[in-house]
Amino acid sequence: MNGVTISLGGATVDPAEAASLYVELGWGTRKEYSVPRMRRSLAHCDIVVSARNGEGELIGLGRALSDFAIDTKILDLVIAPEYQRQGIGQAMMRRIASAAKGTSVYFETERKNFPFAAKCGYEKRTGLFVFRMRHGGRKQ
Ligand SMILES: CC(C)(COP(=O)(O)OP(=O)(O)OC[C@H]1O[C@@H](n2cnc3c(N)ncnc32)[C@H](O)[C@@H]1OP(=O)(O)O)[C@@H](O)C(=O)NCCC(=O)NCCS
């Protein structure tokens, strides 16, 4: 976490640098994570948490939706590979939870991240599965 700063709010995040982070992680294509889409996402997410290194480069991003009353859903949290396993993800999860204080916070993730979720204080809910309709059911 040396020299890393964590901030709340999407206004300080450049959509192009955010899109690059997702594409570099292999989460999708430049089309899926285009700059206009990322701009819209950052403007509409209820909670955006970003992490920057000492040079000011974006090295982590978390996006969440919350009603700020009952429920909060973390859409995703991504840390640049060379900065993983330094406690940055956990610090960002804490920041998201404190922005959503008083709500139940849900984090959907792959099995390989179960130790991370547990370390962050999340309990696995059994018997629940994730369903997805891509692109609102429209062909792209
Ligand atoms: C999952 C992810 C966000 C974790 O962020 P991170 O900054 O690397 O995690 P931290 O360093 O804060 O880890 C905190 C603790 O979680 C656990 N943990 C994190 N990554 C782990 C791994 N790969 N294997 C086992 N335990 C892990 C450890 O207990 C760790 O503490 P420790 O290093 O003192 O043992 C990051 O690896 C990432 O961006 N992965 C790719 C994108 C992704 O899958 N995002 C999550 C779903 S949206």
Task: Name the burial class of residue 72, with classes exposed (0-12), middle (13-18) and buried (19+) by CB atoms within 10 angstroms of its CB.
Answer: buried
Domain ranges of the chain: 5-137
Token digits of residue 42: 């950052």
Evaluate whether 16 touches 75 at the Cβ level (below 8 Å). Answer: no
Confidence of residue 139 (pLDDT cuts 50, 70, 90): confident
Name the fold adopted by 5-137.
Aminopeptidase (3.40.630)
CA-nearest residue for atom 24, ligand 1, is 115
Say whether pLDDT at 1 is over 90.
no
Q: Is 113 in the pocket of ligand 1 (CB under 6 A)?
A: yes
Q: What is the whole-number distance in angstroms between the Cα of residue 117 and the centre of ligand 1?
A: 8
- Compute φ and ψ for 50, nearest 5 degrees: -125, 155
Q: What is the per-residue pLDDT for 140?
A: 66
Q: How far apart are CA 129 and CA 73, in angstroms?
A: 15
Read off the pTM.
0.96
| % of the chain surpassing 70 pLDDT | 99
Ligand 1 pocket member 77 (CB < 6 A)? yes
Higher-pLDDT residue of 18, 134:
18
| 88 Cβ inside 6 Å of ligand 1 | yes
